[in-house]
A and B are shown apart, each in its own frame.
Chain A
Protein backbone atom coordinates (compact mmCIF):
# COMPACT_ATOMS: atom_id res chain seq x y z
CA UNK A 1 0.00 0.00 0.00
CA UNK A 2 2.78 2.40 0.97
CA UNK A 3 6.32 2.77 -0.31
CA UNK A 4 9.21 3.00 2.19
CA UNK A 5 10.82 6.42 2.86
CA UNK A 6 14.22 4.80 3.02
CA UNK A 7 15.71 1.32 2.81
CA UNK A 8 13.74 -1.58 1.40
CA UNK A 9 11.06 -4.05 2.39
CA UNK A 10 11.07 -7.62 1.10
CA UNK A 11 8.15 -10.02 1.32
CA UNK A 12 8.75 -13.63 0.30
CA UNK A 13 11.96 -12.49 -1.42
CA UNK A 14 10.20 -9.78 -3.43
CA UNK A 15 11.03 -6.09 -3.06
CA UNK A 16 7.97 -3.93 -2.35
CA UNK A 17 9.20 -1.22 -4.68
CA UNK A 18 10.46 -3.30 -7.61
CA UNK A 19 8.06 -6.26 -7.47
CA UNK A 20 5.01 -4.55 -6.03
CA UNK A 21 2.53 -6.75 -7.86
CA UNK A 22 4.15 -9.98 -6.55
CA UNK A 23 4.17 -8.58 -3.02
CA UNK A 24 0.50 -7.56 -3.21
CA UNK A 25 -0.35 -11.04 -4.47
CA UNK A 26 1.14 -12.54 -1.29
CA UNK A 27 -0.14 -10.10 1.30
CA UNK A 28 -3.71 -9.98 2.63
CA UNK A 29 -4.71 -6.90 4.62
CA UNK A 30 -7.68 -6.46 6.95
CA UNK A 31 -7.67 -2.73 7.70
CA UNK A 32 -9.63 -1.02 10.43
CA UNK A 33 -11.68 1.11 7.98
CA UNK A 34 -15.13 -0.38 8.19
CA UNK A 35 -16.83 0.95 5.11
CA UNK A 36 -14.26 0.08 2.50
CA UNK A 37 -16.80 -1.95 0.52
CA UNK A 38 -19.25 -1.27 -2.27
CA UNK A 39 -22.44 -0.55 -0.36
CA UNK A 40 -24.94 -1.68 -3.01
CA UNK A 41 -23.26 -5.03 -3.59
CA UNK A 42 -23.88 -8.06 -1.40
CA UNK A 43 -21.14 -9.59 0.76
CA UNK A 44 -20.67 -12.36 -1.81
CA UNK A 45 -20.53 -9.90 -4.74
CA UNK A 46 -17.97 -7.74 -2.89
CA UNK A 47 -15.74 -10.73 -2.16
CA UNK A 48 -16.05 -12.02 -5.72
CA UNK A 49 -15.08 -8.57 -7.02
CA UNK A 50 -11.97 -8.29 -4.83
CA UNK A 51 -11.03 -11.94 -5.54
CA UNK A 52 -11.09 -11.18 -9.28
CA UNK A 53 -8.75 -8.21 -8.80
CA UNK A 54 -6.55 -10.45 -6.64
CA UNK A 55 -6.14 -12.92 -9.51
CA UNK A 56 -8.13 -15.76 -7.95
CA UNK A 57 -9.06 -18.08 -10.83
CA UNK A 58 -12.72 -18.06 -11.84
CA UNK A 59 -13.04 -21.83 -11.27
CA UNK A 60 -12.00 -21.43 -7.62
CA UNK A 61 -13.66 -18.15 -6.78
CA UNK A 62 -17.11 -19.31 -5.65
CA UNK A 63 -15.66 -22.05 -3.42
CA UNK A 64 -13.19 -19.70 -1.78
CA UNK A 65 -15.81 -17.01 -1.21
CA UNK A 66 -18.12 -19.53 0.51
CA UNK A 67 -15.20 -20.85 2.57
CA UNK A 68 -14.12 -17.43 3.90
CA UNK A 69 -17.73 -16.36 4.55
CA UNK A 70 -18.10 -19.45 6.70
CA UNK A 71 -14.78 -18.77 8.48
CA UNK A 72 -15.99 -15.36 9.63
CA UNK A 73 -19.55 -16.50 10.36
CA UNK A 74 -21.25 -14.52 7.58
CA UNK A 75 -22.59 -17.38 5.45
CA UNK A 76 -26.20 -16.51 6.30
CA UNK A 77 -25.70 -12.86 5.28
CA UNK A 78 -23.79 -13.73 2.08
CA UNK A 79 -26.47 -12.27 -0.20
CA UNK A 80 -27.34 -9.24 1.93
CA UNK A 81 -26.31 -5.82 0.59
CA UNK A 82 -23.40 -4.65 2.75
CA UNK A 83 -25.08 -1.24 3.26
CA UNK A 84 -27.27 -3.10 5.78
CA UNK A 85 -24.30 -4.47 7.75
CA UNK A 86 -23.36 -3.52 11.31
CA UNK A 87 -19.81 -2.47 12.30
CA UNK A 88 -18.98 -5.98 13.46
CA UNK A 89 -20.21 -7.51 10.22
CA UNK A 90 -18.11 -5.06 8.20
CA UNK A 91 -15.10 -6.04 10.26
CA UNK A 92 -15.68 -9.74 9.64
CA UNK A 93 -16.19 -9.13 5.93
CA UNK A 94 -12.88 -7.23 5.87
CA UNK A 95 -11.14 -10.28 7.28
CA UNK A 96 -12.89 -12.54 4.76
CA UNK A 97 -11.63 -10.24 2.00
CA UNK A 98 -8.07 -10.51 3.28
CA UNK A 99 -8.32 -14.31 3.41
CA UNK A 100 -9.94 -14.93 0.02
CA UNK A 101 -6.66 -14.75 -1.89
CA UNK A 102 -5.03 -17.22 0.55
CA UNK A 103 -2.14 -14.90 1.33
CA UNK A 104 1.22 -16.10 2.61
CA UNK A 105 1.35 -12.97 4.83
CA UNK A 106 -1.75 -11.73 6.60
CA UNK A 107 -1.85 -8.25 8.17
CA UNK A 108 -4.60 -7.83 10.76
CA UNK A 109 -5.39 -4.48 12.34
CA UNK A 110 -7.39 -4.98 15.55
CA UNK A 111 -9.41 -7.68 13.80
CA UNK A 112 -11.73 -8.73 16.63
CA UNK A 113 -12.58 -5.22 17.84
CA UNK A 114 -16.31 -5.47 17.04
CA UNK A 115 -16.79 -9.25 17.20
CA UNK A 116 -18.82 -11.18 19.74
CA UNK A 117 -17.12 -13.83 21.90
CA UNK A 118 -18.19 -16.86 19.83
CA UNK A 119 -17.13 -15.33 16.49
CA UNK A 120 -13.83 -14.20 18.05
CA UNK A 121 -13.09 -17.73 19.26
CA UNK A 122 -13.91 -19.21 15.84
CA UNK A 123 -11.86 -16.52 14.14
CA UNK A 124 -8.72 -17.25 16.19
CA UNK A 125 -9.10 -20.97 15.52
CA UNK A 126 -9.10 -20.17 11.79
CA UNK A 127 -6.08 -17.87 12.17
CA UNK A 128 -4.14 -20.48 14.16
CA UNK A 129 -4.94 -22.99 11.42
CA UNK A 130 -3.51 -20.60 8.83
CA UNK A 131 -0.37 -20.04 10.92
CA UNK A 132 0.13 -23.82 11.15
CA UNK A 133 -0.05 -23.96 7.34
CA UNK A 134 2.90 -21.52 7.05
CA UNK A 135 0.98 -18.26 6.76
CA UNK A 136 2.77 -15.42 8.52
CA UNK A 137 0.30 -13.44 10.61
CA UNK A 138 1.13 -9.86 11.61
CA UNK A 139 -1.37 -8.65 14.18
CA UNK A 140 -1.56 -4.98 15.20
CA UNK A 141 -3.33 -4.76 18.53
CA UNK A 142 -3.65 -2.71 21.71
CA UNK A 143 -5.12 -5.69 23.50
CA UNK A 144 -2.51 -7.33 25.78
CA UNK A 145 -4.70 -10.39 26.44
CA UNK A 146 -5.13 -11.06 22.72
CA UNK A 147 -1.43 -10.57 22.00
CA UNK A 148 -0.49 -12.95 24.84
CA UNK A 149 -3.05 -15.55 23.75
CA UNK A 150 -2.23 -15.77 20.03
CA UNK A 151 1.24 -14.26 19.48
CA UNK A 152 4.61 -16.00 19.35
CA UNK A 153 6.76 -12.96 18.65
CA UNK A 154 6.39 -9.41 19.87
CA UNK A 155 7.30 -6.21 18.02
CA UNK A 156 6.65 -3.14 20.12
CA UNK A 157 6.12 0.07 18.16
CA UNK A 158 6.05 3.33 20.08
CA UNK A 159 5.78 6.76 18.43
CA UNK A 160 6.91 5.34 15.10
CA UNK A 161 9.96 3.54 16.52
CA UNK A 162 10.57 -0.15 17.02
CA UNK A 163 11.25 -0.41 20.78
CA UNK A 164 11.32 -4.20 21.19
CA UNK A 165 11.55 -7.35 19.09
CA UNK A 166 11.48 -10.58 21.08
CA UNK A 167 9.83 -13.98 21.30
CA UNK A 168 6.83 -14.34 23.55
CA UNK A 169 7.44 -16.83 26.32
CA UNK A 170 5.20 -19.89 26.58
CA UNK A 171 2.21 -18.96 28.77
CA UNK A 172 3.36 -15.33 29.11
CA UNK A 173 0.47 -13.54 30.81
CA UNK A 174 -1.25 -10.39 29.61
CA UNK A 175 -0.22 -8.71 32.90
CA UNK A 176 3.42 -9.52 32.15
CA UNK A 177 3.04 -8.06 28.67
CA UNK A 178 1.36 -4.99 30.08
CA UNK A 179 4.15 -4.28 32.54
CA UNK A 180 6.74 -4.96 29.80
CA UNK A 181 5.00 -2.35 27.63
CA UNK A 182 5.04 0.37 30.32
CA UNK A 183 8.58 -0.47 31.34
CA UNK A 184 9.87 -0.31 27.76
CA UNK A 185 8.01 2.80 26.64
CA UNK A 186 8.44 4.72 29.92
CA UNK A 187 4.76 5.68 29.88
CA UNK A 188 2.81 5.93 33.12
CA UNK A 189 0.34 3.15 33.86
CA UNK A 190 -2.45 5.29 35.33
CA UNK A 191 -4.55 2.22 36.12
CA UNK A 192 -1.95 1.23 38.72
CA UNK A 193 -1.72 4.63 40.47
CA UNK A 194 -3.04 4.24 43.99
CA UNK A 195 -5.68 6.85 44.77
CA UNK A 196 -6.50 7.72 48.35
CA UNK A 197 -9.81 9.02 49.67
CA UNK A 198 -12.33 10.92 47.50
CA UNK A 199 -11.20 14.04 49.34
CA UNK A 200 -7.59 13.41 48.15
CA UNK A 201 -8.86 12.99 44.58
CA UNK A 202 -10.90 16.17 44.83
CA UNK A 203 -7.85 18.07 46.09
CA UNK A 204 -5.62 16.72 43.34
CA UNK A 205 -8.17 17.73 40.69
CA UNK A 206 -8.07 21.30 41.96
CA UNK A 207 -4.31 21.60 41.94
Chain B
Protein backbone atom coordinates (compact mmCIF):
# COMPACT_ATOMS: atom_id res chain seq x y z
CA UNK B 1 0.00 0.00 0.00
CA UNK B 2 1.48 3.32 -1.07
CA UNK B 3 0.71 6.47 0.86
CA UNK B 4 -1.24 9.23 -0.87
CA UNK B 5 -0.01 12.77 -0.29
CA UNK B 6 -2.04 15.34 1.62
CA UNK B 7 -2.14 17.47 -1.53
CA UNK B 8 -3.65 14.59 -3.51
CA UNK B 9 -6.27 14.07 -0.80
CA UNK B 10 -7.06 17.78 -0.83
CA UNK B 11 -7.48 17.64 -4.60
CA UNK B 12 -9.89 14.68 -4.21
CA UNK B 13 -11.98 16.61 -1.65
CA UNK B 14 -11.93 19.79 -3.74
CA UNK B 15 -12.99 17.81 -6.84
CA UNK B 16 -15.83 16.16 -4.90
CA UNK B 17 -17.12 19.55 -3.70
CA UNK B 18 -16.72 21.14 -7.13
CA UNK B 19 -18.53 18.31 -8.94
CA UNK B 20 -21.32 18.40 -6.36
CA UNK B 21 -21.69 22.19 -6.77
CA UNK B 22 -21.63 22.04 -10.59
CA UNK B 23 -24.19 19.23 -10.71
CA UNK B 24 -26.41 21.12 -8.26
CA UNK B 25 -27.03 23.81 -10.91
CA UNK B 26 -30.08 25.38 -9.26
CA UNK B 27 -28.11 25.92 -6.03
CA UNK B 28 -25.35 27.74 -7.93
CA UNK B 29 -27.84 29.97 -9.78
CA UNK B 30 -29.72 30.82 -6.57
CA UNK B 31 -26.42 31.80 -4.87
CA UNK B 32 -25.43 34.09 -7.76
CA UNK B 33 -28.90 35.72 -7.97
CA UNK B 34 -28.93 36.21 -4.17
CA UNK B 35 -25.49 37.77 -4.29
CA UNK B 36 -26.43 40.26 -7.04
CA UNK B 37 -29.73 41.12 -5.35
CA UNK B 38 -27.89 41.87 -2.11
CA UNK B 39 -25.42 44.11 -3.95
CA UNK B 40 -28.25 45.99 -5.68
CA UNK B 41 -30.01 46.51 -2.33
CA UNK B 42 -26.86 47.97 -0.72
CA UNK B 43 -26.20 50.13 -3.77
CA UNK B 44 -29.65 51.73 -3.61
CA UNK B 45 -29.43 52.03 0.19
CA UNK B 46 -26.20 53.99 -0.18
CA UNK B 47 -27.82 56.22 -2.82
CA UNK B 48 -30.77 56.85 -0.49
CA UNK B 49 -28.41 57.81 2.36
CA UNK B 50 -26.60 60.19 0.03
CA UNK B 51 -22.94 61.12 -0.60
CA UNK B 52 -22.67 63.12 2.64
CA UNK B 53 -22.21 60.00 4.81
CA UNK B 54 -18.54 58.90 4.41
CA UNK B 55 -17.60 56.51 7.24
CA UNK B 56 -13.82 56.45 7.68
CA UNK B 57 -13.49 58.94 4.81
CA UNK B 58 -14.78 56.54 2.12
CA UNK B 59 -18.07 56.40 0.20
CA UNK B 60 -20.78 54.34 1.91
CA UNK B 61 -21.28 51.79 -0.91
CA UNK B 62 -17.64 50.55 -1.03
CA UNK B 63 -17.62 50.67 2.80
CA UNK B 64 -20.65 48.38 3.06
CA UNK B 65 -19.48 46.25 0.09
CA UNK B 66 -16.34 45.19 1.97
CA UNK B 67 -18.17 44.81 5.30
CA UNK B 68 -20.97 42.61 4.01
CA UNK B 69 -18.63 40.66 1.73
CA UNK B 70 -16.31 39.63 4.56
CA UNK B 71 -19.18 39.05 7.02
CA UNK B 72 -20.92 36.78 4.49
CA UNK B 73 -17.65 34.95 3.84
CA UNK B 74 -17.13 34.30 7.58
CA UNK B 75 -20.65 33.21 8.42
CA UNK B 76 -21.62 31.43 5.18
CA UNK B 77 -18.41 29.44 4.89
CA UNK B 78 -18.63 28.31 8.51
CA UNK B 79 -22.31 27.47 7.90
CA UNK B 80 -21.51 25.61 4.65
CA UNK B 81 -18.84 23.56 6.39
CA UNK B 82 -21.12 22.81 9.33
CA UNK B 83 -23.92 21.79 6.93
CA UNK B 84 -21.59 19.37 5.18
CA UNK B 85 -20.63 17.88 8.58
CA UNK B 86 -24.29 17.54 9.60
CA UNK B 87 -25.18 15.96 6.26
CA UNK B 88 -22.29 13.53 6.64
CA UNK B 89 -23.59 12.62 10.12
CA UNK B 90 -27.13 12.10 8.84
CA UNK B 91 -26.20 9.95 5.84
CA UNK B 92 -23.53 7.96 7.69
CA UNK B 93 -20.75 9.27 5.42
CA UNK B 94 -18.91 10.71 8.42
CA UNK B 95 -18.55 7.28 10.04
CA UNK B 96 -17.22 5.79 6.82
CA UNK B 97 -14.81 8.68 6.28
CA UNK B 98 -13.49 8.13 9.79
CA UNK B 99 -12.66 4.52 8.90
CA UNK B 100 -10.36 5.51 6.03
CA UNK B 101 -6.63 5.58 6.68
CA UNK B 102 -6.64 9.39 6.57
CA UNK B 103 -6.44 10.83 10.10
CA UNK B 104 -9.82 12.32 11.19
CA UNK B 105 -8.32 15.75 11.98
CA UNK B 106 -6.57 15.90 8.58
CA UNK B 107 -9.80 14.95 6.87
CA UNK B 108 -11.84 17.63 8.64
CA UNK B 109 -9.27 20.35 8.02
CA UNK B 110 -8.99 19.50 4.30
CA UNK B 111 -12.79 19.43 3.99
CA UNK B 112 -12.99 22.78 5.75
CA UNK B 113 -10.37 24.37 3.48
CA UNK B 114 -12.30 23.11 0.45
CA UNK B 115 -15.62 24.52 1.75
CA UNK B 116 -13.95 27.82 2.61
CA UNK B 117 -12.17 28.05 -0.75
CA UNK B 118 -15.58 27.92 -2.45
CA UNK B 119 -16.84 30.78 -0.32
CA UNK B 120 -13.61 32.70 -0.87
CA UNK B 121 -14.42 32.52 -4.58
CA UNK B 122 -17.92 33.87 -3.81
CA UNK B 123 -16.27 36.77 -1.92
CA UNK B 124 -14.02 37.60 -4.86
CA UNK B 125 -17.02 37.47 -7.26
CA UNK B 126 -19.02 39.67 -4.84
CA UNK B 127 -16.29 42.31 -4.61
CA UNK B 128 -15.61 42.17 -8.36
CA UNK B 129 -19.34 42.55 -9.17
CA UNK B 130 -19.54 45.51 -6.76
CA UNK B 131 -16.72 47.23 -8.61
CA UNK B 132 -17.68 46.21 -12.17
CA UNK B 133 -21.47 46.50 -12.02
CA UNK B 134 -22.06 49.12 -9.33
CA UNK B 135 -18.87 51.16 -9.81
CA UNK B 136 -17.59 50.98 -6.24
CA UNK B 137 -14.45 53.14 -6.05
CA UNK B 138 -11.38 51.13 -4.96
CA UNK B 139 -7.66 51.92 -4.62
CA UNK B 140 -6.32 48.46 -3.91
CA UNK B 141 -2.92 47.39 -2.64
CA UNK B 142 -3.09 43.76 -3.76
CA UNK B 143 -0.32 42.47 -1.48
CA UNK B 144 -2.15 43.87 1.54
CA UNK B 145 -5.46 42.46 0.21
CA UNK B 146 -3.90 38.98 -0.11
CA UNK B 147 -2.40 39.20 3.40
CA UNK B 148 -5.81 40.12 4.88
CA UNK B 149 -7.50 37.34 2.88
CA UNK B 150 -5.03 34.72 4.15
CA UNK B 151 -5.50 35.73 7.80
CA UNK B 152 -9.28 35.96 7.29
CA UNK B 153 -9.29 32.43 5.87
CA UNK B 154 -7.30 31.12 8.86
CA UNK B 155 -9.65 32.78 11.37
CA UNK B 156 -12.78 31.69 9.49
CA UNK B 157 -11.41 28.13 9.41
CA UNK B 158 -10.98 28.27 13.18
CA UNK B 159 -14.60 29.42 13.58
CA UNK B 160 -15.89 26.67 11.27
CA UNK B 161 -13.82 23.95 12.92
CA UNK B 162 -14.98 25.09 16.38
CA UNK B 163 -18.62 24.90 15.20
CA UNK B 164 -17.92 21.40 13.83
CA UNK B 165 -16.33 20.37 17.15
CA UNK B 166 -19.42 21.60 19.04
CA UNK B 167 -21.66 19.80 16.56
CA UNK B 168 -19.85 16.49 17.13
CA UNK B 169 -19.70 16.99 20.92
CA UNK B 170 -23.14 18.43 21.71
CA UNK B 171 -25.02 18.45 18.36
CA UNK B 172 -25.39 22.24 18.82
CA UNK B 173 -23.13 23.62 16.10
CA UNK B 174 -25.95 25.45 14.29
CA UNK B 175 -27.14 27.22 17.45
CA UNK B 176 -23.63 28.42 18.27
CA UNK B 177 -23.09 29.61 14.73
CA UNK B 178 -26.43 31.45 14.74
CA UNK B 179 -25.46 33.23 17.97
CA UNK B 180 -22.03 34.03 16.54
CA UNK B 181 -23.52 35.35 13.27
CA UNK B 182 -26.09 37.52 15.06
CA UNK B 183 -23.46 39.03 17.33
CA UNK B 184 -21.08 39.79 14.49
CA UNK B 185 -23.86 41.35 12.44
CA UNK B 186 -23.94 44.55 14.45
CA UNK B 187 -20.72 44.40 16.47
CA UNK B 188 -18.11 43.93 13.74
CA UNK B 189 -18.51 47.26 11.94
CA UNK B 190 -19.97 45.55 8.92
CA UNK B 191 -22.75 48.12 8.29
CA UNK B 192 -21.54 51.16 10.25
CA UNK B 193 -18.36 52.29 12.05
CA UNK B 194 -17.96 50.71 15.49
CA UNK B 195 -17.39 54.20 16.92
CA UNK B 196 -21.19 54.64 16.67
CA UNK B 197 -21.67 51.96 19.36
CA UNK B 198 -21.76 52.70 23.11
CA UNK B 199 -18.30 52.12 24.65
CA UNK B 200 -19.07 48.76 26.41
CA UNK B 201 -20.15 47.35 23.04
CA UNK B 202 -17.11 48.90 21.41
CA UNK B 203 -14.95 46.89 23.82
CA UNK B 204 -16.66 43.66 22.71
CA UNK B 205 -16.31 44.75 19.11
CA UNK B 206 -12.56 45.22 19.52
CA UNK B 207 -12.26 41.66 20.85
CA UNK B 208 -13.75 40.19 17.65
CA UNK B 209 -11.40 39.04 14.88
CA UNK B 210 -13.92 39.93 12.15
CA UNK B 211 -13.75 43.62 13.20
CA UNK B 212 -10.04 43.64 12.33
CA UNK B 213 -10.53 41.59 9.14
CA UNK B 214 -13.14 44.05 7.85
CA UNK B 215 -11.08 47.07 8.93
CA UNK B 216 -7.96 45.58 7.33
CA UNK B 217 -9.74 44.82 4.06
CA UNK B 218 -11.13 48.37 3.87
CA UNK B 219 -7.64 49.79 4.43
CA UNK B 220 -6.10 47.46 1.81
CA UNK B 221 -8.85 47.55 -0.83
CA UNK B 222 -10.34 51.03 -0.50
CA UNK B 223 -7.40 53.03 0.88
CA UNK B 224 -4.55 51.19 -0.84
CA UNK B 225 -2.53 51.02 2.38
CA UNK B 226 0.74 49.08 2.23
CA UNK B 227 1.49 46.12 4.49
CA UNK B 228 3.91 48.32 6.47
CA UNK B 229 1.32 51.04 7.06
CA UNK B 230 -1.25 48.54 8.20
CA UNK B 231 1.21 46.39 10.19
CA UNK B 232 -0.67 46.84 13.51
CA UNK B 233 -3.92 45.49 11.98
CA UNK B 234 -2.07 42.60 10.30
CA UNK B 235 -0.30 41.81 13.59
CA UNK B 236 -3.66 41.54 15.40
CA UNK B 237 -5.03 39.30 12.63
CA UNK B 238 -1.90 37.12 12.78
CA UNK B 239 -2.29 36.89 16.56
CA UNK B 240 -5.91 35.74 16.24
CA UNK B 241 -4.90 33.21 13.55
CA UNK B 242 -2.06 31.56 15.48
CA UNK B 243 -4.15 31.41 18.67
CA UNK B 244 -7.57 30.38 17.37
CA UNK B 245 -6.58 27.78 14.78
CA UNK B 246 -4.61 25.48 17.14
CA UNK B 247 -7.32 25.88 19.81
CA UNK B 248 -10.04 24.92 17.29
CA UNK B 249 -8.04 21.90 16.12
CA UNK B 250 -7.48 20.77 19.72
CA UNK B 251 -11.22 21.13 20.45
CA UNK B 252 -12.06 19.13 17.33
CA UNK B 253 -9.55 16.38 18.21
CA UNK B 254 -11.04 16.14 21.70
CA UNK B 255 -14.66 16.02 20.51
CA UNK B 256 -13.89 13.40 17.83
CA UNK B 257 -12.05 11.22 20.35
CA UNK B 258 -14.94 11.50 22.79
CA UNK B 259 -17.51 10.70 20.10
CA UNK B 260 -15.52 7.63 19.01
CA UNK B 261 -15.30 6.51 22.64
CA UNK B 262 -19.03 6.99 23.27
CA UNK B 263 -20.20 5.81 19.85
CA UNK B 264 -21.98 9.12 19.15
CA UNK B 265 -20.21 10.06 15.93
CA UNK B 266 -23.39 9.87 13.86
CA UNK B 267 -25.66 11.56 16.43
CA UNK B 268 -27.19 14.79 15.11
Tell me the A residues contacting B by CB distance below 8 Å. 1-3, 5, 20-21, 24-25, 27, 29, 31, 33, 35-38, 40-41, 45, 48-50, 52-58, 60, 81, 97, 101-102
Contact = CB atoms under 8 A, between A and B. Distances in A.
A55 B102 CA distance: 8
A186 B20 CA distance: 51
Contacts of A57: 1-2, 4
B9 A25 contact: no
A33 B92 contact: yes
Nearest to B265: A1
Interface residues of B, number: 32
Nearest to A42: B19
A81 B1 contact: no
Contact of B16 (A33, A41, A54): A41
A81 B93 contact: no
A21 B101 contact: yes
26 contacts: A2-B261, A3-B257, A3-B261, A20-B103, A21-B103, A29-B96, A29-B99, A33-B91, A33-B92, A35-B91, A35-B92, A36-B91, A36-B96, A40-B20, A40-B23, A41-B16, A45-B16, A50-B100, A53-B12, A53-B101, A55-B1, A56-B2, A57-B1, A57-B4, A60-B2, A81-B23
Given A31-B96, A40-B20, A53 B9 contact: yes
Interface string B76-105: 000000000000000111011111111100
Contacts, number: 94
Contacts of A29: 96, 99
A24 B260 contact: no
Interface of B: 1-4, 8-9, 12-13, 15-16, 19-20, 23-24, 91-93, 95-103, 107, 257, 260-261, 263, 265
